[in-house]
Amino acid sequence: MDKRRRFYINIWDGCNLNCKHCFNEGGSVQGKLLSHPEVIRLIEEAQEYIGIDEVQLTGGEPTQRPDIFPIIRELQQKGIKVLLQTNGVFGSTVLNEILKLPDESFSLIISLDGIETNDYFRGRGTTEKTINNLKILSKKFHIRINTLLSSKIKWNEIEKLVSLTKESKISLAFNPVCPAGRADPSMLMPPNEYFEWMYKLENLSQGKAAIRKCFDFVDGHMVEMEKCPVRESATIHIAADGGAYPCGFLVNNPMCFLGSVRDFSLIELIKRIPTTCKAMSPECHECDFFIKGYCHAGCPARIYALHKKFDEVDIYCMAKYFHECEK
């Protein structure tokens, strides 16, 4: 389980792509973005008062921000680890700037949603550009490929992605699409297929790939490994204009706006996370999977996107899946 404590900032909401499944609706730059000094001050505050280990810079496409590399270098000089989340679709100028960065305090998350499926969601030719860049970058940096499991992706694409992990510093993470922003429920992988793929990924990962899933297997049980930071009030997501939200998937939800970092401290903003965002279905409270810690009640953002309230059961409910299998 990944126990690092990250702080998330959408540093640039502009994007060079117009992905069909973008929960953040990245595209044109909106509002008054946080300045370079504001970004640094904010991360220093998070380091001091929240005790973060790493900052994750997201977008939009963060490499399009004109001062992104001076920001990264300044954070590194202050001893702050930087994780850059990118679509990997950039030219040689950006690639060379990344390669100049020290590798001991910098890593990347590169989004690659399959092979054919990636081009479907992100645009023709994006897969080839992304793979070419990640192969070059993986020779120096650790790269995690983030793959969204959708109704479009095929199993042979997963096998092709696993083959990329033969590169020395590449791992894989799989999570379902969240039907927020431009994504919609038709993009969701059916629950039965999703859990079956979790089993297949478990078998595929035996000594063959570094695969990080949102579910894993402990003592023979399927376990939801990542606790939701919203439910734990562990951290917050900062939008490009300085607005704070419980997580990035809830940025488009006006009910979850916590205020601006220009008006409140991070501690104050975390305390403002509404209890409604943490609400769980009564079924979850009485469920053995939740009581025994196999499940953490699912994703609040996904639940809200589908039901317009938080106290419902997640579509990827383990208990319902296993009960269906028992019939």
The rounded mean pLDDT for the chain is 90
Give the pLDDT mean for 75-103. Answer: 96
Q: CA 128 to CA 33: how far, in whole Å?
A: 31
Instruction: Report CA-CA distances (Å) from 192 to 177, 188, 241, 319.
Output: 15, 11, 39, 12
The pLDDT tens digits for 17-74 are: 999 999 877 776 777 899 999 999 999 999 888 888 899 999 999 999 999 999 999 9
Q: CA 107 to CA 129: how far, in whole Å?
A: 19
Instruction: Encode 94-151 in three state secondary structure.
Output: HHHHHHCCCCCCEEEEEECCCCHHHHHHHCCCHHHHHHHHHHHHCCCCCEEEEEEEEC
Burial call 237-254: b when 16+ CB within 10 Å, e when fewer: bbbbbbbbbbbbbbbbbe
State the fold for domain 6-274.
TIM Barrel (3.20.20)
pLDDT higher than threshold 50 for residue 2? no
Residue 325, pLDDT score = 72
The pLDDT tens digits for 100-151 are: 999 999 999 999 999 999 999 999 999 999 999 999 999 999 999 999 999 9
**How many percent of the chain have pLDDT more than 70?**
95
Q: Taking the model in full, what pTM does it have?
A: 0.92
pLDDT higher than threshold 70 for residue 93? yes
Residue 69, pLDDT score = 98
**How many percent of the chain have pLDDT more than 90?**
70
Instruction: Encode 239-259 in three state secondary structure.
Output: CCCCEEECCHHHCCCHHHCCE
pLDDT higher than threshold 50 for residue 202? yes
pLDDT higher than threshold 70 for residue 315? yes
pLDDT higher than threshold 50 for residue 3? no
Give the pLDDT band (50/70/90) at residue 209: low
Instruction: Report CA-CA distances (Å) from 95 to 63, 119, 200, 262.
Output: 10, 21, 34, 33
Give the pLDDT mean for 84-113. Answer: 96
Residue 260, pLDDT score = 96
pLDDT higher than threshold 80 for residue 4? no
The pLDDT tens digits for 255-279 are: 899 999 999 999 999 999 999 999 9
Give the pLDDT mean for 151-162. Answer: 94
Hey, where are the domains in the chain?
A: 6-274
The pLDDT tens digits for 273-301 are: 999 999 999 999 999 999 999 999 999 99
